[in-house]
Structures are given as structure tokens and as C-alpha cells.
Structure 1
Amino acid sequence: MGKLAQAVTFILLLGYPLAVYLGLNYLPGNLLAPLLALLLLLRLVTQKQPLRLLALPVLFGLLLALGSFVARQQHWLLYYPIVMNLCMLGLFGSSLLKGPSMVERLAKITEPQLPDAARPYLRKVTGLWCLLFVINGSMATYTALYTSLATWTLYNGLIAYLLIGLLAGSEWLYRHFWLTRS
């Protein structure tokens, strides 16, 4: 049951922008915020990875959802993508300062014996991820403050994910088809 709950909460949190859009448009009153808080709490409880990797963004999400409910400020729910991008920027950026870089850590999961020559490349890729988190966080902030809910949902629920997929896919293609031939 734990793995099922973990998978369900992961999928639901990926759909957070759509849930906010639908909830704010179709749920009565202030019902969305406690539902999102419950979902975030469930994600925190079912998470199997080291808790420190997930705790900060989930706790901030909980604070935003509960604060939104108590203060009756539903627009606070729009700030969660900003929190996620800031947390990811902090995670990836701090790995550049204290090493090994986050992309190197992730690469070592599938390839434990990485050559030392790969480290500079992996640091550059980690820097690219940091740039993406700055761009996504800036756009999440802009859409939360200055655009319609539909535009916020489009950017944070589709375009941001496409940019993440584009960077991940491009890097994978480059690494596997270009670097292996060099």
C-alpha cells in the first residue's frame, strides 16, 4: 500500500497546477486548500527517499495550503511552483559549491565508476539545471502575480514540464550519441 500511495501522490503533485485550476474554478469555497494540504502531508508520510530531499518544498507547500485556508487567500496556492523551483535551485546550486554536483550524484546511480574526466561536464550540466530553475521560478512568479489562472496553469502545468523534459532529453541524447563518439 505504501508504494501505491507514494506513486499516487507523486502523480497528483505533478498535476498540482491542473488541480489548482480545476479546484479554484469548480470546488465550493475554500475546499481546495485543505485537500492540497492533505495531499502534501500524504506525500511527506509516504516518501521513501531521504526525507531531507523532500521535506523543505513539501513543508512550504503545506504552509502555503494551510495559510491559504486560514487566511482565505486562495491565490497563495499559486506560489507552490515558485517554492519548488527555489528548493531545486538550492539543492542543485549548493552541490556546485560543496560537490559532487547533483548531476554527478544522479549519474553515479546508474554508472558508479564514472571517470574523473566526466566531472567538469557534469558540473556544467548542473549549472544548466540551475539556470532552468531560475527561469522557471521567475516565470512561476510572473504568472502567479500578473497573469490569469489559465496562463499560470498553462506555464506551470505544461510549459515548465516541457522545458524540464527538453533539458533532460537533450542532455541524455548529447551524452549518449555525441560524447560516446568523441
Structure 2
Amino acid sequence: MSRLIGLGLLLAGLLYPFAVYFGMEHFAPWQFGLLLGSLWLARALTGERKPGSLWMAGAAIVFCLLLALFDSPLLLRWYPVLISGFMLVLFSLSLKYGPPMVERLARLREPELPDIAIRYTRKVTVAWSVFFFCNGLCAALLTLWAPLDWWMLYTGLISYGLIGLMFAIEWLIRQRVRGRT
């Protein structure tokens, strides 16, 4: 059940900018808040207890409650900023309290990492932290000063393209680093 809820949250996150852009004519902001808040509440109640999962769910539920309470179309546009903020906090705190997020992910595939790989994963975690800061900043600026269609284009397409580009660049760099060892 928790996997289904996680998949629902993932799909909701991916489709959110389009749902806001095309759904505003048919649904009120409070309805978005209740639907999204229900998914986050279900995740909090049924999901695995991973570091950060409860505070993220709590913050998202508070956001959704505010969205439902104020019924504000402008508030709808802050959700992608919130998600980038979550990712920034997860990645950057993993640098302080360790192990870095990318090292954790790498150890799923290769449990015994050499020292050079551990240093490399730390640098990649820093790069992702910078990316999520910049991505959240762009989404916030678009929320504050851009038309809805620009916001939707960035948060629904461009930011995902940039994530894919980050993955591709990191993969290419990783191949070079591996080739040196």
C-alpha cells in the first residue's frame, strides 16, 4: 500500500504543474490542497520511517492545509519550491550528518566503495544541493513574477530536463573517474 501511495505522490508531483495550469478552470485551490494533503497524510501514516520522512510529510501537510484554508491560486504555485526545498535539505544535511546522499545511493549497488568513490559521491551530493537550491530559486522567482504559463513550462518541463541533464553529466564524469582508477 505504501508503494502505491509513494507512486501516487510521485505522479502528483510530476503532473502537478500541468494539473494547476489546466485544472484551475475546473477545480478550486482548496481541492488541490485536500487531494495533495490526503496523499501526504497517507504517506505519513503508512510509509517507511526513513530519516526526514515525517518532517517532510508534516511540512507538506501544513502547506496543503494552508492551501485549503486560504484557497489561493498563487499559493498553488509554491509546491514545486517546497519540493526543491525538501531535496535541498535532505542532500545538504546528509553532507553534515553523513553519509552523503549520493554515497547512500551508490552503496545500494556497490556496498564496498573505495575512498576515491566516497570523496566523489560527496562532491556529487554538493552539486545536487546547489542544483536544488537554484531550481527552487527559479521556481520561486517564476511564482512571484512570471505568468502562469512560464511557471508551468519551467516547473513541468524545463526543470525535469535539467534533472536529466544533471544525471547525464554526472554519469559521464563518473565514467571518467572510474577510468582513472
| TM-score for the superposition, normalised by structure 1 | 0.86
- 1:110-132 superposed Cα distances (whole Å, 9 cap, x missing partner): 11000012222111111111110
Number of aligned residue pairs:
180
> Where in structure 1 are there 5+ consecutive unaligned residues?
none
Indicate conservation of the 8 Å contact 2:81/2:139, yes or no: yes
Query: Separation in 1 of the partners of 2:83 and 2:29?
Result: 26
Q: Relative to structure 1, is the Cα distance of residues 174 and 90 closer, same or farther in structure 2, using a 3 angstrom cutoff?
A: same
Deviation at 1:9, TM superposition (A): 3.2
- 1:92-143 superposed Cα distances (whole Å, 9 cap, x missing partner): 1122223221111111111100001222211111111111011101001101
Partner of 1:99: 98
Partner of 1:77: 76
Q: Relative to structure 1, is the Cα distance of residues 78 and 106 closer, same or farther in structure 2, using a 3 angstrom cutoff?
A: same
Question: Which amino acid letter does the alignment assign opposite residue 4 of structure 2?
Answer: L
Q: Relative to structure 1, is the Cα distance of residues 77 and 55 closer, same or farther in structure 2, using a 3 angstrom cutoff?
A: farther
Percentage of identical aligned residues? 37
Partner of 1:140: 139
> Where in structure 2 are there 5+ consecutive unaligned residues?
none
| TM-score for the superposition, normalised by structure 2 | 0.87
Deviation at 1:46, TM superposition (A): 4.3
Query: Separation in 1 of the partners of 2:85 and 2:176?
Result: 31
Partner of 2:14: 14
State the SS of the aligned residue for 2:24: helix
Deviation at 1:145, TM superposition (A): 0.8
Pairwise CA RMSD: 2.1
Higher relative contact order (CA 8 A, sep 6+): 2
